[in-house]
Amino acid sequence: MRDHIRALIEAIGEDPAREGLRRTPDRVAEALSFLTRGYSMDPHEVVNGAIFNEQHQEMVICRDIDFFSLCEHHMLPFFGKAHVAYLPKGRLIGLSKLARLVEVFARRLQVQERLNRQVAETLQEIIDPAGVAVVMEATHLCMVMRGVEKQNSVTVTSSMLGEFRNNPATREEFIHLIRNPNR
């Protein structure tokens, strides 16, 4: 990877031997490895058995989960907040595991729509709740600093499974609960 990064530096007209750039190929390779570590993470292992039998049947929401990802089209960052909810059916998952599931899929080359769906479908698969809802709001640097250069644009995606898809009242309760008047 370092050799390719060095070649990229040369291709844009810079000198990779210049003092400020000498270690850049190493730093970029290390950063890319960190930013794409989701490929080496298994969502089932990340949950690590943190599933508990409990007869709670009301909605569980973890709101405002920060995430960072790289757009697969330009390899530029996009980042924002994820809101994840589920309706338990006899099983709860450790709350931190909701954030960890977001992290597994965000740390891959992504499109926001797929990222959203992967989190929802994996949570559905792991704990088989009555429904799952995931809403993500993100700023994409490929839209902000290049292309259309719309600095205030935010992309919102959602995945609704089970009761969140089939029951408008459940979906509306979720949307109401994740709204933040300061946004």
Catalytic residue among 74, 121, 124, 173: 74
Cα angle vertex 35, ends 30, 38, to 5°? Answer: 120
d(CA 183, CA 180): 6
Tell the burial category of 67 from Cβ atoms under 10 Å away from its Cβ (0-12, 13-18, 19+): buried
Q: Is 73 a catalytic residue?
A: yes
Catalytic residue, from 71, 83, 103, 163: name it: 71
For β-strands 77-87 and 60-71, DSSP reports them as: antiparallel
Task: State the catalytic residue, choosing from 103, 110, 137, 140.
Answer: 140
User: Which candidate in 72, 113, 125, 172 is catalytic?
Assistant: 72
149 as an active site residue: the answer is no
Residues 105 and 122: their CA atoms lie apart, in Å, by 10
71 is catalytic: yes
Catalytic residue among 73, 113, 125, 172: 73
Active site residue 83: no
Of 62, 83, 103, 112, the catalytic one is: 112
Using CA atoms, how far apart are residues 166 and 25, in angstroms rounded to an integer? 50
Known active-site residue 56: no
124 among known catalytic residues: no
Catalytic site includes residue 57: no
Nearest to 180 by CA among 71, 63, 66: 63
Which residues form the catalytic set? 71-74, 112, 140, 142
